[in-house]
Amino acid sequence: MGVVGVLGLLPILIPQLRQLATTSGTPVPSLTALVVASVFQSLLFVALGVAVGMAFAPRLHLRSHIAAWAGREPKLSPGFSKEAPLALGLGVLAALVLPVLDQLFAPSMGEAAQRLRILQDLPLNQRVAGALAGGINEELIFRWGLATFLAWLIGSIRGKASGSPPAGTMWAAVVIAALVFGAAHLPAVLGLSVSLTVPVVARTIVLNACAGMVFGWLYFRRSLEAAILAHAMVHITWAILSRLV
């Protein structure tokens, strides 16, 4: 799944790297070398998230339908088909709420508000990349990997390193992972030539962290695949709304 997510980045990654290769004032490797290095870096982060999740999720009884299938374990109950409506619904709800929150930050951000506005009519390749790379890779890294590790670490400190995490441990892991998830989007803001002022940083972290908490709750209470579906649904809903507003 992570490979699919990384390949989904190529339609936007290649034009960006081609521009870098042609406009940079300093010598850079060939376009092919840049693409290979970028893909390898992305795969490395995904592989790390997958490895950490596979190491710690079973200890905490955290769920992935695909991991259970690959390990020839009994099918998880409830099945993914029963989780999907909730994941889709929460994905749509998050997609509707976040643009409203975005507008609350807009007055304090000046011209940056327009550059960062969520509901923009972006090219199809960017929407596809968001649904695939965001929906799959970010969940593998930040929920399956980071949140799982944090739940195990916090549980170990509290003397419960195995078994289903208590609510307090679960929410601590969800919130911390969501804040890291939010901060991880700051380089993308810089890539849009937007300065990291206090309002811009706050807006970026808060909005993404809110979404991350929704995905984290779905992961802990349902499954990794439910979180992936909700995340992808956020991007799909934004693509639809951007054509309507």
Which of 134, 140, 139, 143 lies closest to 8 in space, CA to CA?
Answer: 134
Identify the H or E element spanning 129.
helix 124-129
Q: Is 63 left (phi over 0), alpha (psi -120 to 50) or beta?
A: beta
Domain tally, the chain: 1
Q: Which domain holds residue 104?
A: 2-244
pLDDT tens profile 73-93: 888 888 899 999 999 999 999
pLDDT tens profile 181-231: 999 999 888 877 888 999 999 999 999 999 999 999 999 999 999 999 999
Global confidence as pTM: 0.91
The pair of three-digit structure tokens given for residue 127, joined into one six-digit string: 């929407």
Q: Is 91 exposed, middle or buried (0-12, 13-18, 19+ CB in 10 A)?
A: buried
- C-alpha–C-alpha distance, residues 109 and 104, integer Å: 10
